[in-house]
C-alpha cells in the first residue's frame, strides 16, 4: 500500500493557500544556491505555477509536494524533476524552509515517503540527486536512505564568486 503519510509529517499537493509559503521559499536568497536560482519570483508567476500544479507528472515531467505537519503547517517542499518514464528515473530534491524545523527528521521522513511513492507507485527504477559538496546535512540524509555517491561534477556551480563541486547520488530500486 502506498501512503504519503508518515509518523510526524505528510506530503500533499500544492494548494492555492500555499502562495505565500511558496513565494517565501522561492525568494529566500539563503537557499538559492541549492536550486541555482538567480533572481526573485513574482507572486504572479508563483500563482500561475500553483494553478498548473495539478497537471499530470507524465505530462509536465515534475511534481512538487508540500511537506506538512499534522497541524497543517507547511514545513517545506519535496520535488520530483526530470521525470523520465521511458528510462524509469527521476531527480529529487528536499527543502525544509525554516531553520528551527531543520534537524528534526522532517526532511528524512519526507524523503522516505517520496522514495516509496516513486518506486512503488510510479514504478521507477532509479532516483538521483545533486548536492553541493559542502552540504553535509543533505549528503548524510541521502546516504542514510541508501543513496550512493556516483560522481563529482567539478567546479559545477558558481556560488558567491566561488566555484563548488556538485556530487551526484543515485538510488537504484533493487
Q: What is the DSSP string of 21-81?
A: HHHHHHT-GGGHHHHT--S---HHHHHHHHHTTTS-HHHHS-EEEEEEETTS-EEEEEEEE
Q: Do the domain assignments include residue 35?
A: yes
In degrees and rounded to multiples of 5, residue 70 shows phi and psi of -75, -10
**More confidently predicted of 38 and 144:** 144
Q: Do the domain assignments include residue 98?
A: yes
- For 127-154, what is each residue's pLDDT tens digit? 999 999 999 999 999 999 999 999 999 9
**Cα distances (Å, whole numbers) of residue 59 to 65, 91, 118, 129:** 16, 16, 16, 21
Q: Do the domain assignments include residue 151?
A: no
Q: Give the model's pLDDT for residue 132.
A: 93
Residue 1 pLDDT class (50, 70, 90 cuts) = very low
**More confidently predicted of 55 and 111:** 111
* Among the listed residues 128, 131, 135, 112, the one whose alpha carbon sits nearest the alpha carbon of residue 172: 128
In degrees and rounded to multiples of 5, residue 124 shows phi and psi of -75, 150
For residue 43, pLDDT over 50 is answered with: yes
Domain extent, residue 40, equals: 9-128
Q: What CA–CA distance (Å, rounded) separates 76 from 73? A: 9
Q: Give the model's pLDDT for residue 37.
A: 67
Q: Please report, to the nearest 10 degrees, the dihedral formed by the alpha carbons of residues 29, 79, 109, 169 taken in order.
A: -90
- For 88-118, what is each residue's pLDDT tens digit? 999 999 999 988 999 999 999 999 999 999 9
Q: Do the domain assignments include residue 163?
A: no
Q: Do the domain assignments include residue 147?
A: no
* Total domains, the chain: 1
Q: Do the domain assignments include residue 160?
A: no
User: What is the CATH classification number for the domain harbouring 97?
Assistant: 3.40.630.30
Amino acid at each position: 500500500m502506498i501512503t504519503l503519510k508518515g509518523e510526524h509529517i505528510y506530503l500533499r499537493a500544492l494548494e492555492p493557500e500555499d502562495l505565500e509559503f511558496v513565494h517565501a521559499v522561492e525568494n529566500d536568497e539563503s537557499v538559492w544556491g541549492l536550486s541555482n536560482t538567480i533572481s526573485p519570483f513574482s507572486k504572479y508567476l508563483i500563482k500561475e505555477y500553483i494553478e498548473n500544479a495539478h497537471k499530470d507528472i507524465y505530462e509536465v515531467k515534475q511534481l512538487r509536494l508540500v511537506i506538512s505537519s499534522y497541524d497543517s503547517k507547511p514545513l517545506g517542499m519535496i520535488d520530483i524533476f526530470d521525470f523520465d518514464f521511458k528510462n524509469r528515473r527521476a531527480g529529487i530534491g528536499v527543502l525544509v524552509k525554516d531553520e528551527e524545523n531543520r534537524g528534526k527528521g522532517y526532511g528524512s521522513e519526507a524523503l522516505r515517503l517520496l522514495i516509496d511513492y516513486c518506486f512503488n507507485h510510479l514504478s521507477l527504477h532509479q532516483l538521483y540527486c545533486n548536492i553541493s559538496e559542502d552540504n553535509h546535512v543533505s549528503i548524510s540524509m541521502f546516504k542514510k536512505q541508501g543513496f550512493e555517491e556516483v560522481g563529482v561534477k567539478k567546479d559545477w556551480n558558481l556560488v558567491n564568486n566561488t566555484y563548488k563541486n556538485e556530487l551526484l547520488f543515485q538510488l537504484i530500486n533493487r
